[in-house]
Structure 1
Amino acid sequence: MKLVKKAPAVLLLEDGTCFHGNAIGKVGTRGGEICFNTGMSGYQEIYTDPSYYGQIIVNTTSHIGNYGVLDAEQESDTPKISALVVNDFSDTYSREKADHDLQKYLEDSGIVGIANIDTRKLVRHIRSKGAMNAVVSSDITDLDELKKFLEQVPSMAGLELSSIVSTKEEYMVGTEEGAQKRVAVLDLGIKTSILKNLTERGCYCKVFPAKTTYEEMKAWKPDGYFVSNGPGDPEAMDYAVDTVKNIIGEDQPVFGICLGHQILARANNISTYKMHHGHRGLNHPVKNLESGKCEMTSQNHGFSVNLEEAENVSDLKVTHINLNDNTVAGIKMLNKRAFSVQYHPESSPGPHDSQYLFDQFIELMKA
């Protein structure tokens, strides 16, 4: 096997911490908020999740690229991450049905990356210091120049990003003939596998751009409303909060995931806050407070719902709790047909413990 010689690359963190490694992906310079995902597999699904828009992803798994890329495993049309940081990067892959190697995929998608750094040391640093902005470069080696570049990267706090990744035009998913229910989807950065979970359960979906009003969605006469995952700060999304307030004001069935969960909380006048370093991985334990059962969940979020405020809303119940840090993982309204969770029950990638939530949404629409 011919060894591929890699150009040097630099990772510079906002606090001045610097790592030197080798370039992967496209040659260039990209900045964003650096965060880490602990999933042992599913790197392609992670990179194409619109919730990661504007973020530099650190894979904690040692070997990345070893099973290549498969077109069918896309969660959106292209990778949405800002840049990639890995330990060992594989230029070859073993999966026979893979369509591409990861290097070509990253190059074609314009993703800048760095490999051959101590990701264990980097992740321990982020866990200690918290999420922060960073820059990855394979064409600039001067640290002073990189510091100037980094100063121009906006903070994730207060950043509205859903309207950037959302669809620009309405579109349909599923089969209208024989469909059990019609679901209006507010696309804040939706993953393909979420729509797949809905259509597999007999739903005919119409996906609307992020800034669509309730009246525009209502005109389609759906049986229920889905509020999707997505990137950015929920405190900067009053337009989505207003839409959801109008939906629940008419007591329509609502299911929210991740950012959609935070928007439902805000629609109930519950605040959200930026977490120290967020939850991103496939093994986060969540307790269902109604059933008493624990679920292993897939998560990807850097903001959370205020627990104390949620517990003080009389007509709302906290239904799920993250067992790692006791943060809110699910809520439901007691006087309306609305519920949400702070994790990804579509399980792509991740365990399948939580897919029952889609069934609950179907039953809510039937009721």
Structure 2
Amino acid sequence: MKYQKLKKALILLEDGTIFHGKAVGREGSAFGEVCFNTGMTGYQEIFTDPSYFGQLMVTTNAHIGNYGVNDEEVESDSIKIAGLICKNFSYDYSREDSNGSLEDFLNENNLLAISDVDTRALVSYIRDNGAMNAVITTEVDDVDSLKKQLSEIPSMNGLELASKVSTKTPYFVGDENASIKIAALDIGIKKNILRNLVKRDAYVKVFPYNSTFEDLKAWNPDGYFLSNGPGDPQPLVEAQTLAKQVIENDLPLFGICLGHQVIALANGISTYKMHNGHRGINHPVKNLVTGKGEITSQNHGFAVNREEAEAHPDLEITHVHLNDNTVAGLKMKSKNVFSVQYHPEASPGPHDSSYLFDQFIENIKNK
């Protein structure tokens, strides 16, 4: 077993660059877009977040696995990343309320992970050259074949992935006697979003990604929610049509991350693939309405066109990312609609953004 843990592995980027490491456990190859997350904690939540579907995750924190895993710290029913890349992998863990080791959790989910990688050099390279497709592999003597396979992996730009992570059938969360009913479109929804709605006395019905406005409206909800999720928002034509119809009927609507981008597209505002995205738990955002700063959790590789949003007569930019001035929040001036490009449910320490759920509930009550 120890021999397998030390088996040679490598990362091959689509531009031909190679980084070396060691296999954590299982052998083989995993393909996806390589990206990095700067969070110091929360690796289990990251790995199970549907928004990361199809991505090879580089963790910039030097130690991964040191506090094990907990059954309650998941954002979906399984690991969603395509593979893990880290510096130091901890096979042993030391937290009293852990249910087991990260090694066992990865093996149960059949996830390929490699450690002993110079992640500082890899992240620096991604920052300079942008997010790109890659393969992590223990097949270190078959680079030419891997290059050919890698060339056939589709770019994240234009890739629809919501269908890969969405529920197949509607389901309910919360107390059916709650005071508010919310219809949520699952294009990659996180469990903690549902928890935040439920604890505010909402009964939530979660619908598949390709549901129509008529499907959601038939349940007679008080408000509508568009979730986070993976991939490019532009191919999600059905979700954009649904958003347009909710807006046209002047119904309360709230969107997070991918849902935020869908609302922008429904208003004729374009989106674009970022150089390397925002992924971490300490991203600074300014609320332009209150003037206050927020420390936020973010995970997105696409963004809303700011110039087009500023020129739109019925949209107001409510939040901006202070590192690069990208759009972090929108609201419609004449409709009961708003959205943010970060995760108010994540609470990575600060709870700066949890007020957004209260705002949604208030919008519903005051409609």
Using structure 1 for the length normalisation, give the TM-score.
0.98
Contact map agreement 2:4 2:23 (CA 8 A) in 1: no
**Secondary structure of residue in 2 paired with 1:235:** coil
In the alignment, the residues of structure 2 paired with residue 186 and residue 40 of structure 1 have an alpha-carbon distance, to the nearest angstrom, of 30
Shift of 1:97: 1.6
Q: Is the aligned partner of 1:343 residue 2:342?
A: yes
Partner of 2:243: 244
Contact map agreement 2:4 2:25 (CA 8 A) in 1: no
Contact map agreement 2:36 2:57 (CA 8 A) in 1: yes
Residues 255-312 of structure 1 show CA distances to partners (whole Å, capped at 9, x for unaligned) of 0000000000001000000000000001110000000000000000000000000001
In the alignment, the residues of structure 2 paired with residue 307 and residue 63 of structure 1 have an alpha-carbon distance, to the nearest angstrom, of 37
Partner of 1:99: 99
Q: Which runs of 5 or more residues in structure 1 are unaligned?
A: none
Deviates more, 1:32-41 or 1:130-139: 130-139
Question: What are the residue-to-residue correspondences of 1:276-355 with 2, within 5 Å?
Answer: 276-349=275-348, 351-355=350-354
Structure-2 change in CA distance of 1:29 and 1:348 (3 Å): farther
Shift of 1:25: 4.1
Structure 1 segments (4+ residues) deviating >4 Å? 2-5
Matched letter for residue 170 of structure 1: P
Shift of 1:351: 2.8
Matched letter for residue 340 of structure 1: S
In the alignment, the residues of structure 2 paired with residue 65 and residue 339 of structure 1 have an alpha-carbon distance, to the nearest angstrom, of 37
**Secondary structure of residue in 2 paired with 1:74:** coil
In the alignment, the residues of structure 1 paired with residue 27 and residue 97 of structure 2 have an alpha-carbon distance, to the nearest angstrom, of 28
Shift of 1:4: 7.9
Aligned-pair RMSD on alpha carbons?
1.2
Shift of 1:191: 0.3
Shift of 1:90: 0.4
Contact map agreement 2:24 2:115 (CA 8 A) in 1: yes
Size of the aligned set, in residue pairs, is 365
Partner of 1:32: 32
Structure-2 change in CA distance of 1:68 and 1:315 (3 Å): same
Partner of 2:227: 228
Structure-2 change in CA distance of 1:274 and 1:267 (3 Å): same
Contact map agreement 1:46 1:349 (CA 8 A) in 2: no
Contact map agreement 2:5 2:24 (CA 8 A) in 1: no
Contact map agreement 1:322 1:328 (CA 8 A) in 2: yes
Using structure 2 for the length normalisation, give the TM-score.
0.98
Contact map agreement 1:25 1:110 (CA 8 A) in 2: no
Shift of 1:145: 1.6
Overall identity of the aligned pairs, in %: 60
Deviates more, 1:342-351 or 1:233-242: 342-351
Question: What are the residue-to-residue correspondences of 1:62-81 with 2, within 5 Å?
Answer: 62-81=62-81
Partner of 1:142: 142
Q: Is the aligned partner of 1:14 residue 2:1?
A: no
Shift of 1:349: 3.9
Q: Is the aligned partner of 1:172 residue 2:186?
A: no
